Amino acid sequence: MPRLTFPLPKPDRLPPWFRAVALSLVLLAGCAGRPAAPETADEEQEAPEAAASAGSQGATPGAADRLLLPKQDLTETLLYEFLLAEIAGQRGNVGLAAQAYADLARRTRDPRIARRATEIALYARMSNAAIEAAQVWYETEPKSPGALRALAGLLVNAGRYEEALPLLKKVLAESPNGPAESFAQLNRTLGNAQDRKSALKLMQGLAEDYPRLPQARLAVAQAAASAGDDALALAEIRRASQLQPGWEAAVLFEAQLLQRKSADDAVALLAGYLQKYPGAREVRLDYARLLVAQKRFADARTEFQRLLADFPDNNDVIFAVALLSLQLNDYAVAESNLKRLLEGNYRDKNGVRLYLGQVAEERKNYPEAQRWYGEVGAGEQYLPAQIRYAQMLARQGKLDAARAHLQQASASDSQQRVQLILAEAQLLREAGQAGAAFGLVQQALERLPNNPDLLYDYAMLAEKVDRVDILESSLRKLIELRPEHAHAYNALGYSLADRNLRLPEARSLIEKALKLAPDDAFIIDSMGWVLYRQGDLKDSAGHLRRAFAGRQDPEIAAHLGEVLWALGERDEAERVWRDAAGKSPDNETLSNTIKRLKR
């Protein structure tokens, strides 16, 4: 069915009543406090702040101001173009409405129409039309803060910084709340600038007039950091701190800059600041987070506990103390804080129940852990909780019940069902039933032959049942499907190296994996192992030491000990094995390595 259109009548055919209605619309549009064009969240996010504030800054003209407005004769042509703009906007054709209003603004030089043209063009995301209309608005109403801010903001958003500079200087000078607040707003406006260096030059030009204003120095520092000039950023933020000693915003930003090169320097800066200003909450919070990033969990917990003393009802701090206590094996403190969250109004109670289950699990209280996991309801934590619930059943010798639980658990899609199948296969593997696990995954692959997770697990199980052919074919298929799958390259390369087969190819595969995931401890371990197989003991030991420092896994300890043993560093080898065996006494790779070399 063809779409019906309703052409507007020509100006000379407009009936008298239509002119009367249109005249009232003109007056309403010219004097309204807000535009008729709809406003959306997207507009607020994408429009420059200075332009977005135009409506609130440019107040309706008073009686005295109205005397200065141009007198407009409501000609047939003017009325027609106005109606065209209004009706186009109401029918959703904002582009046509914006262009029509821009034409009206140019012809009438009326600030009311120019303002409306600016707002509609801004809504239509027609940058050039918005700038043109804002220029008319500012030229015809030069005392309007809204016109000034709108034009300056639109020029900044368009990257026309040289044109914006004198206008922004005027914005700063005339800001009712002072320039400090305006510098903060400008920083947010320039945060998404495409040309970061030009944005920095603009901010430096604005800050020249305020050499002793700390907010100006912070603004330049942030612009410099965004432009990649960390040296200038550090110099400016330190100058801001000198102008306003003890300013939290300055020290937090300096720590952020220092952290890019040295976390230790950032930690030292914040620690020194807290000695002088122990009540600085945001600084202490950042300090605690940095300590967590450095894996200084005990020190981090101390800081969070200090915050908790000052803010006993802060759920985020309670949660941080709970998790750090769990990390430090302080299960009593972890449990008490998690239960506080459960009793209060914490937003993620399912997550709390999951962690309470882990606390009980660490204490070897499997029925209690099972109870907590069973209380996790629908949502993001549901599937992990069901898998852990089944693991608790299996650890109590109830393998059949554990498998049945996984088979009956709800799955919202095929990928969740795959996760449940892989969890069931893991239970079978841990129970010494690698063949059954292999068959289970094989059946799942018949239904989902290209699922990456199933392919990877199938390959790992193939190794357990001595089907090296299936291991290699599955991993090569996975690499074909997912060429960026670092662990597929690593698993294939390690499998060849461990069997002392095709070592140049094995090394090439592991090198590819290492490029994709350069900090992965298991891939670094594989690199050390293939180097050992090739006879490069020195480089092998270096890689294995690095891998073990990143993750103290018993199999990495087995490899490191073996290479150290071959290098004649047997005391160190025995120390590595002894420490690892104390933590993982049942690891087969570790125990077999020790027996083989020390017999």
The domain total for the chain is: 1
pLDDT digit string, tens, across residues 544-570: 999 999 999 999 999 999 999 999 999
Q: Helix, strand, coil shares of the chain as percentages rounded to 5?
A: 75, 0, 25
Among 124-138, 264-278, 392-406, which is the least confidently predicted range?
Answer: 124-138
Two structure tokens written together for 460: 């790992």
Does any domain span residue 3? yes
Please tell me the least confidently modeled range out of 66-70, 359-363, 508-512. Answer: 66-70
pLDDT of residue 10: 38
For the segment 158-184, the average pLDDT, to the nearest whole number, is 86
pLDDT at 424 over 90: yes
416: in domain: no
CA torsion sign for 343, 344, 350, 351 is negative
Q: What is the pLDDT of residue 398?
A: 95
Average pLDDT over residues 78-94: 72
pLDDT of 30 above 60: no
> What pLDDT sits at residue 402?
97
Does residue 17 form part of some domain?
yes
Quote the pTM value. Answer: 0.68
Q: What angle do CA 143, 145, 146 make, to 5 degrees?
A: 120
Please give the Cα distance from 159 to 53 (Å, whole number).
19
> For position 77, what pLDDT does the model report?
67
Determine the pLDDT at residue 76: 65
Quick check: is 77 in a domain?
yes
Whether the per-residue pLDDT at 332 is higher than 70: the answer is yes
CA distance 452 to 416: 13
Other CB atoms within 10 Å distance of the CB of residue 437: 26
587 part of a folded domain: no
Whether 168 shows a pLDDT value over 90: the answer reads no
Flag the least confident range among 1-15, 61-75, 170-184, 205-219. Answer: 1-15
How far apart, in whole angstroms, are the C-alpha atoms of residue 455 and residue 448? 9
Q: Which domain holds residue 2?
A: 1-60+72-174
In a domain, 282, yes or no: no
Residue 441's CB is within 10 A of a number of other CB atoms, namely: 27
Q: Which whole number is the average pLDDT over 574-587?
A: 92
CATH number of the CATH domain containing 101: 1.25.40.10
Residue 164 lies in a domain: yes
Question: What is the average pLDDT across 267-280?
Answer: 93
Q: Residues 282-326: pLDDT tens digits?
A: 999 999 999 998 889 999 999 999 999 888 889 999 999 999 999
Separation between Cα atoms, residue 237 and residue 41, nearest integer Å: 33
Cα(493)–Cα(505) distance, integer angstroms: 7
DSSP H helices, 32-141, are: 41-46, 49-52, 54-57, 63-66, 76-90, 94-108, 111-123, 127-140
Closest CA to 323 of 308, 312, 306, 335: 335
